[in-house]
Amino acid sequence: MYAVIETGGKQYRVEVGTELEVERLEAEAGQSVTLGRVLLVADGDRAAIGRPLVAEAQVSAEVVRQGRGEKLIVFKYRPKARRRVKKGHRQELTLLRISDIVLDGRSAAEDARKAEEAAKTERQRLEEAAARQAAEDAAVAAKLAARTAPKAEGKADGKAEASPRSKAATAEQKAATGTRARRGAAKADDAGSTKTGSPRPRSAKAGTAKASAGDAKASAPKTAPAKGRTTDSKGDDTAGGASPKRQRTKKDQ
C-alpha cells in the first residue's frame, strides 16, 4: 500500500518505513505527527483518488530530527544600472519516517506485521523440516556403522593371530643386525690400530725372512775406497781430492 501526500506545497509518494525530508514542521524529535492531506491511496488493484482529498484516509509519521538543507545562492542584478544583489538561503527541514497508512479502517502497518509473522512461521517450519531430516540422516548413519562393526572386529582378530609371527621375524632381524654391527666394529678397530702405529701381530715366516736378510748384510765384506781417491757427490772419482779439469767449449775459445 502506498499514498501520495501534500505538505509544504509539495507532493510526496510514501510507503510504510519511507524516510523523507519536508519543510519544517512544529514538532520535536521523537514525536508523532499526522499528515491529513492525502491525495491518493493505492492498494494492489484498488485505488482511491481524492477530489481533492481522499475521505477517511490518514498518514502517520514519526519525527526523526530537525535540520537545515544545503545553502542556496540567490543573485539578482539589473543590466546597465550597476545593481547587484547576492543572498544565501538554507531551508529548515524536518526528517520524517512514515509509520502507518490508514484507509477505511485498514492499516498498512498491521498488514506488514502479519506478513512478517507469516514469513517467520514459514522460516520456523523450514527449520523444523531441516532438523527432522538431520535426525533421519543420523539414524541411517548409525545403522551403517552397526553393519560394518563385525567386519572390523574380524580384521582385528586376523591381525592379532599374525602378530606372533611378525614378532619372531623382528627378533631374527634384530639378531642379524647385531651380528653385522659387531663385524663392522671389529673392522673399525683393525683400521684404527693400523693408522695409529700400534704393533700388530706378525707371522713367523715374515720374522724369519727379515732375520736372514740382516745376517746376510752383516756377513758381507766391507770395501773401502782407494787411498788418495775420493768420490764427489755425482759419483765421479777424483785423484787426491782435486777437482777434475773442465773441458773448454767453443764459447770459451
- Going residue by residue through the chain, which has 253 residues, state the pLDDT in tens, using 9 for 90 and above: 899 999 989 999 999 999 999 999 988 988 999 988 999 999 888 888 888 899 888 999 999 999 999 999 999 999 999 999 999 999 999 999 999 999 888 888 888 888 888 888 888 888 888 998 999 999 999 988 888 877 666 665 555 554 555 566 666 777 777 677 777 666 666 665 554 444 454 444 445 555 455 555 555 555 544 444 544 544 454 444 445 556 666 665 5
Residue 221 belongs to some domain of the structure: no
Residue 212 belongs to some domain of the structure: no
6: containing domain: 2-104
Say yes or no: 97 and 135 in one domain: no
Residue 249 belongs to some domain of the structure: no
Residue 189 belongs to some domain of the structure: no
Which grid coordinates are listed for 233?
757427490
Say yes or no: 92 and 155 in one domain: no
Residue 89 belongs to some domain of the structure: yes
Number of domains present in the structure of the chain: 2
Q: Which of 160, 195, 227 is the last residue of a domain?
A: 160
Q: Buried b vs exposed e over 172-195: b needs ≥16 C-beta within 10 Å?
A: eeeeeeeeeeeeeeeeeeeeeeee
Distance CA 1, CA 110 (A): 11
Say yes or no: 50 and 137 in one domain: no
Distance CA 236, CA 229 (A): 10
Nearest to 97 by CA among 69, 48, 137, 59: 59
Q: Which of 61, 87, 104 is the last residue of a domain?
A: 104
- 24: how many CB neighbours lie within 10 A of its CB? 14
